[in-house]
Amino acid sequence: MTETFGPLYERPAQRECPDCSCCSAMLCERGRQSTMRCSGVTDPSTMQLVSGCPCSAEKTPGTHAWRLARIRITKHATERPLRTSAALLLRVLERAEEGDVEDPEDMLGMLKAYGYAAVDEHDRPVITTFGRRYLEARTESRFTTPVEVEAVDHKERTATVIVVGWHLERAVTVLLDQLTTETGLKAEELPGKHLEAQANCRAATADEVVLTCVRIAPDLPDGWMDGSVTSAE
């Protein structure tokens, strides 16, 4: 008997992600490398299914969404801080143990909207990881420091940079889109470029370093590099 319709082909099944139950390994790899997370890089019909994927979540260290969240929180803390009453409530939540927390000015809703507070299984307000990061960013020392771009990874949308004020040899991974957006340079123009940025230069690890206010470094005075001009002149 002759097959009149031709052979039936089926797409090979994708390998499941070993770290979650909602995505394929390929989708989670893409999601980790996108600030839109897994839900933003999948078909609209499956967005809801993968919306809570932990592999690309803002709270998962190392993901693009996590890096972007730390930039956003740091800018919030340093450039447009919370109202005093909301900040005080967040401090109370940081130190509070079990029991009621007074909120006379109804600031909890604002903190929850920013992701700095939540309610636990007993319906008690608690501080979140993002809330702790906000408070940390409010008090940590930040310095203007030279930043040298070592390389860019177009596929992963990251760049490795030397943050001089943090460490002269250990590279820091940052979002490529942050550098291109804030400097106006194209990705291919960045390797070897000298930039300036605000950074928490006393961070314990490279992943904890957060750059803000990134710009192209001003040109050095004539003769600076060849030694004919010194800082004393």
How do residues 121-148 score in pLDDT, each as one tens digit? 888 899 999 999 999 999 999 999 999 9
Q: Which residue is associated with the tokens 């097959």?
A: 3
User: Residue 232: its pLDDT value, please?
Assistant: 43
Q: Which domains does the chain have, with CATH numbers?
A: 25-57 (no CATH), 76-139 (1.10.10), 143-216 (2.40.50.140)
Residue 47: φ, ψ to 5°: -60, -45
User: Residue 44: its pLDDT value, please?
Assistant: 81
How do residues 100-121 score in pLDDT, each as one tens digit? 788 878 899 999 999 999 998 8
pTM of the model: 0.83
The low-confidence residues of the chain, meaning pLDDT below 70, are 1-14, 97-99, 220-233
DSSP helix/strand/coil, 40: helix
- Given a contact cutoff of 8 angstroms between Cβ atoms, the answer to whether 34 and 56 are in contact is yes
